[in-house]
Amino acid sequence: MSQGQQQRVAFARASVTQPNVLVLDEPTASMDPRSKREVEGLMQDFAEQDSGLTLIFASHNLGQVKRLATHVAYLEYGKILAFLPVAEFFDEDHLTMVSQQAQKFLKGNLL
């Protein structure tokens, strides 16, 4: 089974339990672009259901964050340095006031 198919099966299993919170760790890591889009579509479908589900996912893919997230929590060493609506997180002027470390990350200046 491909990674995309495995993720679809995992979403199907999760939907049966009707969770209040679903936590995903890099749900599309190492997938080809087509599989990534399919899994992102499943994530959107899951989040848009009128079930009260909160979907939390970790991602280093900033494009994916822009497409899927409503809020961004920026963490370093287990501490939340910024928690903002996605548009504010990607607004350089606003982010500078909240977290210079997060701004450095967005610019690619953190190793």
Would residue 23 be called left, alpha or beta, if left means φ above 0 and alpha means ψ between -120 and 50 degrees? beta
Q: Above 80 in pLDDT, residue 4? A: no
CATH number for 1: 3.40.50.300
More reliable by pLDDT, 96 or 33: 33
Tell me, what's the pLDDT at 68? 94
Domain that holds residue 111: 70-111
Tell me, what's the pLDDT at 50? 64
Torsion angle (degrees, nearest 10) of CA 49, 52, 58, 61? 40
**What is the distance between the alpha carbons of residues 43 and 38, in angstroms, rounded to a whole number?**
9
What global pTM score does this model have? 0.81
Same domain (yes/no): 30, 4: yes
What's the number of domains the chain is made of? 2
Same domain (yes/no): 64, 74: no
Same domain (yes/no): 3, 32: yes
Same domain (yes/no): 18, 55: yes
Same domain (yes/no): 64, 80: no
Same domain (yes/no): 52, 99: no
Mean predicted confidence (pLDDT) in 29-39:
89
